[in-house]
């Protein structure tokens, strides 16, 4: 299950406001999804973790996001596939600092 950061915005709607620039809204990892040991490094575990994080922010009403994926391995490709198949428009950064050109 993805860990949700406390919402900023209307208490009644539970929606995320547009003024949360730079803050973490949701995060997830293979370990927090219940995978243990060597199974945490599999592409399926990365797919599950990315799907949980995306579902959390979609439920809160987010439509666009910047996503940073860190670490090597086959899980990066699976996580990118899960993110690109979601309903929100994303800009993905993979392992580099997005603010340095």
The domain containing residue 56 runs over which residues?
3-11+22-94
100 in a structural domain: no
Percent of the chain with pLDDT over 70: 70
34 in a structural domain: yes
17 in a structural domain: no
Q: What is the mean pLDDT of residues 12-29?
A: 70
| pLDDT range class, residue 10, cuts 50, 70, 90 | very low
63 in a structural domain: yes
101 in a structural domain: no
pLDDT digits (tens, 9 = 90+) for 70-99: 777 778 888 888 888 887 887 777 665 555
Could you tell me if 50 and 82 are in contact, meaning their C-beta atoms sit under 8 angstroms apart? yes
How far is residue 72 CA from its own chain's centroid? 17
Could you tell me if 26 and 62 are in contact, meaning their C-beta atoms sit under 8 angstroms apart? no
Per the structure, the count of domains in the chain is 1
CATH code of 30's domain: 3.30.420.80
Q: Which two tokens stand for residue 8?
A: 């900023």
Full-model pTM: 0.67
């Amino acid at each position: 299950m993805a860990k949700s950061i406390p919402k900023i915005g209307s208490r009644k709607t539970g929606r995320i406001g547009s003024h949360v620039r730079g803050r973490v809204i949701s995060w997830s990892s293979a370990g927090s999804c219940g995978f243990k040991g060597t199974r945490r490094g599999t592409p399926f575990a990365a797919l599950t973790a990315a799907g949980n994080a995306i579902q959390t922010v979609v439920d809160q009403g987010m439509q666009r996001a910047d996503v940073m994926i860190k670490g090597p391995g086959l899980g990066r490709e699976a996580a990118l596939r899960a993110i690109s198949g979601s309903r929100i428009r994303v800009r993905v950064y993979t392992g580099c600092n997005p603010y340095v050109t």
